[in-house]
Amino acid sequence: MDPRPSPRLLRHPVHLLSLGFGAGLSPVAPGTAGTLAAWLLYPALRTPFPETIFLVLLLVLFAAGIFAAQRTGQALGVPDHGAIVWDEMVATWLVLFFTPASFVWQAAAVALFRLFDILKPPPIRQADARFKNGFGVMFDDLLAAAYTLLALAALVHLCPLLPGA
């Protein structure tokens, strides 16, 4: 188990970002805490932007995450420290963007994302082993988001009567 980082890290803007504004400091399931924080922040982040601008913003946040995760991993001495949750947050926002806008579908999306992020089915596990540092931290969650979106598309097709489908 990685040692818990000091809350003092939140004083530096790069660490504040990579630790998900503090969500990554959760003593229990920091990745899930980061995902839930992203879900809570999504309406405020999504509302002011047209679709294309929001997708460009996600690309910028992904790139910023590569840099931030790299720096925070170096500061903590662990390249993919469990407290680094910006990867979960950006991936969650991407998933929610393509998810039907009902609570049921969003809850399913968040649960599926956490499942794929934790289980790391192929090729996620291989990518996680191959790519290191900031890019590796961010990339494996992007793959988990892709799995989530495929599973959601199948669910929407199979369950068209659920609200929001």
Q: Which two tokens stand for residue 165?
A: 């489908």
- The pLDDT tens digits for 9-37 are 889 999 999 999 999 999 999 999 999 99
Give me the pLDDT at residue 2, please. 63
Give me the pLDDT at residue 1, please. 52
pTM of the model: 0.93
Give me the amino acid identity at 116.
Answer: F
Domain ranges of the chain: 9-158
